[in-house]
Structure 1
Amino acid sequence: MTTNPATTKTIEEAALRIRPLDREAMAEAAGRLDQLTKPPGSLGKLEELAIRLAGIAGEAAAKPPAKAIVVMAADHGVCEEGVSAFPQEVTGQMVLNFLNGGAAINVLARQTGAEVVCVDIGVRGELADDRLVVRKVRPGTANMAREAAMTREEAERAIGIGIDLAGELAAKGIGLLATGEMGIGNTTPSAAMLAVLSGADVEEAVGRGTGIDDEGLRRKRAAIRKAIKLHAPDAGDAIDVLAKVGGLELAGLAGLVLGAAAHRIPVVIDGFISTVAALAACRIAPLAKDYLIASHLSEERGHLRALEELGLEPMLRLGMRLGEGSGAALAFPLVDASCNVLREMATFGSAGVSVSQG
């Protein structure tokens, strides 16, 4: 399988740039939290998040960052197997909806003051709109039930696109990223990747996605089993897994995670698809895991297993399964809250409040 040495180098360099969290900043943040006018640990996960954000930023009381939600869009050849309740042209139609501000992610992004960056990394057909970031690797993957979803070189190109985009957003002053996606049929490659990377049974990994019926679920499981048997993706090589049974938006989001971590930018991951992409990123560069914030637990079967593989606990449980980055957007206010607690709360000393003696 061919590779592009320049793209391979981009991935390797990004992985090497990811540094461990700043333990001194984390200790300083933890010490300050214990001095604030509250019982120690009483803000629960907000305190844990504040400490980790300090470790990422390298300072104990960083202000709430500028935010962007990156929605990677691509199509999937495996839709030929009848694995989705929606026709494939919905991918492009929804991209236009994102650009026009009418989707759920647009509403939630406006509410949280975040920018939505929509990327065509593999949509079938041409979408003419100046607001769209066009980085198309190919017009959708091949049908993985019959041939590899893409070549290794294409998977690496898609990862490189995500890495480069993270750098571009960092240069614009974005300090917090969220992963979103759009691609009819994309829970199928996500479930296939989870089964390979985690060793989970296909039954455990595969859910109903957009709401397929029992027969559709049978076809989906069969397509995934066939693809895994046909291509024998290497569980120890996440890029091989992405190429053989993955998707272009999954590879792009994996690259986004790597690029963000290389720039010390935290990433709020959304639901099942985003989490599987993050899992692939962490198999490429394990240190990237420290830069991930799990937003919510999706209703999609397999999401909990994917989070467990990453050792992450979601902040929200809202029964959602939309994708687009919607759950990640809802977690943005919690990130802001954790930053502001450190910056704005009074200490016992500054407020003149007596400290309990037991």
Structure 2
Amino acid sequence: MAALTMTELLAVPALDRILEPTLQKALDGKAKPPGALGRIEELALTLGLIQGRERPAVKQPVLLVFAGDHGLTRSGVAAFPSGVTVAMVDTLLAGKANANAFARVVGAEVRVIDAGVAADLSDRKGLIQSKIARGTADASVEPAMTPQQAEAALLAGAWLANEAIADGADLIALGEMGIGNSASAALLMHRLAPASLDDCVGPGAGHSPEGMAQKRVVLARAAARSNAAAPMDVLAQFGGFEIAMMAGALLATAKAGVPVLVDGFIGTAAALLAIRLAPAARDYCLFAHASAETGHRLMLQRLDARPLLELDMRLGEGTGALLAVPLVKAACALLSEVAELADVLEAAG
């Protein structure tokens, strides 16, 4: 499998809508009143368009969980130390994290990637090694990464998504693990949505009032340090490696004509980055849920996205994306397995 260049990665084709009338007619002709299944019908139509077939199917969903650390944690933006990232990676690899449990329920494979954890994890069995560096720099005092690192992270994410698709994945879900990544995501949202910083900063994994005050001070200092506005510049200034890899994975998945399930606040920040780089990628995204994290609803509004679920979750790991997998499978089944209304009426005499 040949690696993509940045130019190739960003050349996401516009979604071909030639099947839309056919799919809509098929949905209207199923054994139900037209529109009676609401947004499941909309989802079925979207899946048919993305896959380019009248009977879409999702049989091999794969969750890619990208792990990385953030230099911002050294300035006190997180309630937990960065060492928790390592502990959670080990928990994921042991199959005992929330994402593992949910993945088993919905029949998804989980692949865990070291995008930039601030520790040597080369001995971890089952961990996909793709480390750019041992964590980003502290974005409150200097750029989180170099332009070269930002590009390398995007392309690495693309490679890993394409590898999963080559192995048979027909739905890619994106997850992350990284202490401090809600801070990085807030800065990305601030510049790329755009939105006021106050509307972007939330508690992440949990903060006391004093902790939240410190987080706001640090992120205001980071935002004041750079006026970056172009997507790649914003990424390099504010990080992080796992967010960049998610964005690259999203772009490659869209380019391959495969639907991508976007998780919560961090995942949507990655989607925002990807869509600002290649606007056509928006039509390949399925937004799984509305996170309870501050700023997520506004970011979804900026992307004209309606999430499939609203469960007051704010965990990450791709857990919300996994919980949306049954809805995606059900939407496919609507087009492929449900009887035609005309046949039902004929049988009824």
* Aligned amino acid, residue 72 of structure 2: V
Tell me, yes or no, if structure 1 residue 275 matches structure 2 residue 268.
yes
* Aligned amino acid, residue 37 of structure 2: L
Q: Give the gaps of 5 or more residues in structure 2.
A: none
| 1:227-246 alignment runs, 5 A limit | 227-234=222-229, 237-246=230-239
CA contact (8 A) 2:70 2:239 kept: no
2:170 paired residue number = 175
- CA offset at residue 43 of structure 1? 0.5
- CA offset at residue 21 of structure 1? 2.1
| 1:181-260 alignment runs, 5 A limit | 181-234=176-229, 237-260=230-253
CA contact (8 A) 1:37 1:353 kept: no
| 1:1-358 alignment runs, 5 A limit | 10-16=5-11, 18-127=12-121, 128-234=123-229, 237-353=230-346
Instruction: Return the alpha-carbon distance in structure 2 between the equivalents of residues 348 and 120 of structure 1.
Output: 50
SS in 2 for 1:315: coil
* Aligned amino acid, residue 106 of structure 2: T
> Could you list the per-position Cα deviations for residues 91-122 of structure 1 after superposition, in whole angstroms to 9, with x for gaps in the alignment?
01100100000000000000011000100010
Instruction: Return the alpha-carbon distance in structure 1 between the equivalents of residues 21 and 144 of structure 2.
Output: 45
* Aligned amino acid, residue 87 of structure 1: P
1:3 paired residue number = none
CA contact (8 A) 1:98 1:106 kept: yes
- CA offset at residue 176 of structure 1? 0.2
Instruction: Return the alpha-carbon distance in structure 1 between the equivalents of residues 220 and 347 of structure 2.
Output: 63
* Aligned amino acid, residue 110 of structure 1: R
Identity %: 42
- CA offset at residue 177 of structure 1? 0.6
Q: CA RMSD in A?
A: 1.5
SS in 2 for 1:118: strand
SS in 1 for 2:171: strand
Q: Give the gaps of 5 or more residues in structure 1.
A: 1-5
SS in 1 for 2:336: helix
SS in 2 for 1:174: coil
> Could you list the per-position Cα deviations for residues 147-205 of structure 1 after superposition, in whole angstroms to 9, with x for gaps in the alignment?
11000110000000011111111111101011100000110010011011123111110
Tell me the TM-score normalized by structure 2.
Answer: 0.96
Q: Which moved more, 1:270-279 or 1:221-230?
A: 221-230
- CA offset at residue 84 of structure 1? 1.0
Instruction: Return the alpha-carbon distance in structure 2 between the equivalents of residues 105 and 353 of structure 1.
Output: 46
- CA offset at residue 325 of structure 1? 0.2
| Aligned residues between the structures | 346
SS in 2 for 1:352: helix
